[in-house]
Amino acid sequence: MKVVIDAAVCDGKGYCKRFAPEVFGLDEWGYGKVLVDEVPPEHMAGAEAAVEACPLQAIRTV
Ligand code: SF4
C-alpha cells in the first residue's frame, strides 16, 4: 500500500504524524509529508488510522 497526501488540501495540523510517525512527517512548512514509498506491513494499521484521522481527508491510499 502507498499513501499520498493532497498538498492542496492539507492544512498541516499533523494528525497523520501523530498516528503513524514512521509513515508521515511534516515538511519544512509544517505540512504533511509521506516518508515511505511503500507502507511496511507493521505500520499499516497506523497509516490507516492516520487516513481516518485526517480532518480534511487529504490522505488517500493507492
Ligand atoms: S492529518 Fe491531514 S491535514 Fe493534517 S497534516 Fe496530515 S495530511 Fe495534512
pLDDT in tens, 29-53: 999 999 999 999 999 999 999 999 9
Q: What's residue 57's pLDDT? A: 98
Q: What's residue 39's pLDDT? A: 98
Q: What is the 3-class SS of 1-62, one letter each residue? A: CCEEECCCCCCCCCHHHHHCCCCEEECCCCCEEECCCCCCHHHHHHHHHHHHHCCCCCEEEC
Nearest alpha carbon, ligand 1 atom 8: 10
Give me the CATH code for the 3-61 domain, please: 3.30.70.20
Q: What's residue 13's pLDDT? A: 87
pTM for the predicted model, two decimal places: 0.95
In short, whether 54's Cβ falls inside 6 Å of ligand 1 is yes
In short, whether 14's Cβ falls inside 6 Å of ligand 1 is yes
Q: What is the mean pLDDT of the chain?
A: 97
